[in-house]
Amino acid sequence: MRLWRRDAAHYARRNARRLARIARWERPPANRSERLRAWASMLLTDHGLFRLVYLNRHRVGAGRLWRSAQPAPHQIDAMARAGLRTIVCLRGEPEYGSGPLERERCRALGLDFRTIALRSRAAPEAGTILALKRIYATIPYPALIHCKSGADRAGLAAALYLVFEENVPPREAMRQLSLRYGHVRQAKTGILDRFFTAYLEAAARDPIAFEDWVRERYDPVALEASVKDGRWSNLIVDRVLRRE
């Protein structure tokens, strides 16, 4: 019982720190000092220095959509000059300076900015999947979707885009979850692959359209219970690559 209490207290403290970070970065920088702090947070705490070298940016499907890691303001400028009209952030509420800097730049450039919270190590919720479908149906294109590293949540969102917007079969769409983009299916992030294979298995037993399965039969609790992951793969993803 004491171990459970200690674990519960740990998660409570971690959630409190997360809420404090969100409160800190919920508004754009008001002056030069705040902007410098936001840049420092983006480059150092949020590992943005690596993304200045490699943004992990790729075209998805027919070309209306791109996927990437978290872009810096000057990278957003370059994409806007190339015709980008919308950015969809998959990270939810901002916990680092990259968040307000991105929102500020999108507002200055007149880009449509949307945000939705996807998770990389937990089964996606049906409501979140359907909310992302609605976003895809309403945003101006060309568009960019991004998470922190462009590997896991961006892969899930790209696959869902192909299924919903380009009618690509789920078996083919799930190739967006690939080591090519930095996705490691042997770690906890493999639950995103398992989400699609759960549908394929269900449809093989009793044919059903993907969206109908999500609405009527998908069980994220059962999905999480069915997944096993590798200890060393988790170590690489969580401690070395520092994924969210």
Assess if residue 6 is contained within a domain.
no
Residue 226 pLDDT > 90 = no
Angle at 147 between CA 178 and CA 194, to 5 degrees: 40
Assess if residue 115 is contained within a domain.
yes
Assess if residue 93 is contained within a domain.
yes
Identify the pLDDT of residue 11.
55
Assess if residue 24 is contained within a domain.
no
Assess if residue 25 is contained within a domain.
no
Percent of the chain with pLDDT over 70: 85
**Taking all residues of the chain, what is their mean pLDDT, rounded to a whole number?**
90
Assess if residue 28 is contained within a domain.
no
Q: What is the pLDDT of residues 7-49, one digit of tens each?
A: 666 556 766 676 667 677 878 888 999 999 999 999 999 999 9
Domain range for 136: 34-240
Coil, helix or strand at residue 119: coil
Identify the pLDDT of residue 181.
96
Assess if residue 7 is contained within a domain.
no
CATH number of 235's domain? 3.90.190.10
Percent of the chain with pLDDT over 90: 77
Q: In what order do the strands lie in the sheet with 86-89?
A: 58-60, 65-68, 143-146, 86-89, 112-115
**Cβ–Cβ < 8 Å for 100, 28:** yes
Assess if residue 29 is contained within a domain.
no
Across residues 166-173, what is the average pLDDT?
Answer: 98
**Which two structure tokens, joined as six digits, stand for 102?**
């991105």
Residue 236 pLDDT > 80 = no
**Cβ–Cβ < 8 Å for 104, 29:** yes
Identify the pLDDT of residue 239.
47
Lowest mean pLDDT among 77-81, 123-127, 221-225: 221-225
Q: What is the pLDDT of residues 52-109, one digit of tens each?
A: 999 999 999 999 999 999 999 999 999 999 999 999 999 999 999 999 999 999 999 9
The DSSP output letter for 46 is T
Across residues 162-179, what is the average pLDDT?
Answer: 98
Query: How many structural domains are present in the chain?
Result: 1
